Amino acid sequence: MTYKEALEYIHSVEWKGSRPGLSRITELLEKLGNPQKKLRFIHVAGTNGKGSFCAMTESILRSAGYKTGLFVSPYIKNFNERICVFGVPIDDEALAAATAVVRPVAETMEDAPTEFELITAIGLVHFVREQCDVVVLETGMGGRLDSTNVIDPPLLTVITGIAMDHTAFLGDTVEQIAAEKAGIIKAGTPVLWGGSDIAARRVIESRAKKLGVLISSTQDTPLTVQEMTLLGTTIDYGEWKEVRIPLLGTYQPRNLANVLAAVPLLRKAGLTIPDKAVYDGLAVVRWRGRFEKLCEKPLILSDGAHNPEGVDAAVDSIKTYFGTQKVLLLCGVMADKDYNGMVKTLAPIAKEVFTLTPNNPRALEAADFAEAFKEAGIPATGFADVPSAVAAAFDRALQTSTPLISLGSLYMYCEVTDALDALKESLASTVV
């Protein structure tokens, strides 16, 4: 099987959509010899922040000398990023080989696996082949019925926070969503709660108490932000002093605190993590698409805010870094999101908006998004294609020396950065 054939096969079942349940993944993994039982995991759920948590934790463990696996979703630029070993995305040949193992087994199943279930199985097969010491495993959506929840009790269960998202599948109250996320809690494994919602915390604590497991909360330890600039973030958290990460965004101090709160719990679970590995691993961590600096001149940042809480956090970051200065926005969003609510939140910091249509069947049309901003009194233009939107926004940012923030679904990140790279290359050749 070639890499192209592997991706075509994986994506061929995408039409099945999301069908929550563990029966298919359980059957598939049993027929594959239960690879998940040969691995140790850190299992991470949450509405926002889980990707950053996973990236930071994996970097620390790698710095501590462990052969790490990292399973995340969605990918940012390349599908292979979903499955990493020792910080490196699975290569094309290895992905094809793992898929070749999974496919014939999956095709014997009467109730065929979904796309995410296939990817989960492929990742687990690869992690076993690579003999990973520990895998940082991010849930796809929810928790209780997420295909990653097929694992035995992990070293640590982490729930980074709860907010309203995926309500069609997870419920329309914070308590319902929290109950779904809490479904990954297992007897015998401590739980770290990293959120701030009181109602959600009660649900998490109730589930932990019912299973008789220890629950820790990041909020119970003092956090002090020492520095937050466009060069990075530095915090004190409990006994941890002057801990620095190159990641930006006002939400990163809390994400970092969650990671630091997890370290002693992982040590108690048997992992050897020297303090130096914590500082060294965090100093070099990378996580794209979260208030990431894409360009210096003009200044362009990208943030994958895709739900109300994410947009609130992005606006808070914009205000922190730029004060009262209004910014240019390059935006795309899914039609099933509360985009009118997002517009209301973004309007106070927006000078002008350039909208685009992300390459996804669920995407909101650029013209409709632009119209919503116009109704809020913000100058906005919808563009027929991404390169045109990027070129117009880039030109305005350059002419006016105004920061440009690319904001919205992570599905648009690849298109925007590709268009930006092509534009910069074209401008460079013109200058030459």
pLDDT tens readout for residues 19-75:
668 999 999 999 999 999 999 999 999 988 899 999 999 999 999 999 999 999 878
Residue recorded with tokens 């929840």: 149
Q: How far apart are CA 179 and CA 202, in angstroms?
A: 10
| pLDDT bucket at 333, cuts 50 / 70 / 90 | confident
Average pLDDT over residues 369-395: 96
> Is the pLDDT reported for residue 264 higher than 50?
yes
| pLDDT bucket at 144, cuts 50 / 70 / 90 | confident
Positive/negative CA dihedral, 14, 16, 17, 22: negative
pLDDT, residue 163, reads 64
Nearest C-alpha neighbor of 102 from the set 118, 126, 85: 118
> Is the pLDDT reported for residue 319 higher than 50?
yes
pTM of the model: 0.89
| pLDDT bucket at 428, cuts 50 / 70 / 90 | confident
Cβ partners under 8 Å of residue 216, min gap 6:
190, 191, 192, 193, 261, 265
pLDDT, residue 412, reads 84
Q: Which of 141-145, 198-202, 229-233, 283-287 has the lowest mean pLDDT?
A: 141-145
- For residues 43 and 144, the answer to whether their CB atoms sit within 8 Å is no
Q: How far apart are CA 98 and CA 8, in angstroms?
A: 14
Q: How far apart are CA 315 and CA 298, in angstroms?
A: 20
Percent of the chain with pLDDT over 90: 78
Inter-CA distances, 389 with 108, 337, 355, 360, Å: 46, 21, 7, 17
| pLDDT bucket at 153, cuts 50 / 70 / 90 | very high
pLDDT, residue 172, reads 57
Inter-CA distances, 330 with 256, 303, 382, Å: 27, 10, 10
Average pLDDT over residues 306-334: 90
Q: How far apart are CA 257 and CA 281, in angstroms?
A: 14
Digit-coded pLDDT (tens) for 95-119: 999 999 999 999 999 999 999 999 9
Nearest C-alpha neighbor of 128 from the set 164, 105, 172, 97: 97
Domain boundaries, the chain: 3-283, 292-431
pLDDT, residue 432, reads 47
pLDDT, residue 19, reads 63
- For residues 194 and 160, the answer to whether their CB atoms sit within 8 Å is yes
pLDDT, residue 309, reads 75
pLDDT, residue 141, reads 73
> Is the pLDDT reported for residue 410 higher than 80?
no
| pLDDT bucket at 14, cuts 50 / 70 / 90 | low
- For residues 358 and 411, the answer to whether their CB atoms sit within 8 Å is yes
Q: Token digits for 414?
A: 């690849």
- In the predicted model, what is the mean pLDDT of the chain? 92
pLDDT, residue 336, reads 79
Reported as type and span, the H/E element at residue 388 is: helix 386-400
> Is the pLDDT reported for residue 224 higher than 70?
yes
pLDDT, residue 358, reads 83
| pLDDT bucket at 307, cuts 50 / 70 / 90 | confident
Secondary structure string (H, E, C) spanning 123-145? HHHHHHHCCCCEEEEECCCCCCC
Q: Which fold has domain 3-283?
A: UDP-N-acetylmuramoyl-L-alanine:D-glutamate ligase (3.40.1190)
Q: How far apart are CA 94 and CA 59, in angstroms?
A: 22
Q: Which amino acid is at 373?
A: F
pLDDT, residue 297, reads 92
pLDDT, residue 305, reads 78
> Is the pLDDT reported for residue 183 higher than 60?
yes
Nearest C-alpha neighbor of 71 from the set 89, 46, 59, 56: 89
Average pLDDT over residues 124-139: 98
| pLDDT bucket at 413, cuts 50 / 70 / 90 | confident
**Alpha-carbon 55 to chain mean position:** 9
Residue 131 burial (CB count, 10 A): 11
Residue 383 burial (CB count, 10 A): 21
Average pLDDT over residues 362-371: 92
Residue recorded with tokens 């590709």: 418
CATH code: domain 292-431 is 3.90.190.20
Q: Is 223 exposed, middle or buried (0-12, 13-18, 19+ CB in 10 A)?
A: middle
pLDDT, residue 335, reads 85
- For residues 167 and 307, the answer to whether their CB atoms sit within 8 Å is no
Residue recorded with tokens 């599948």: 169
> Is the pLDDT reported for residue 167 higher than 80?
no
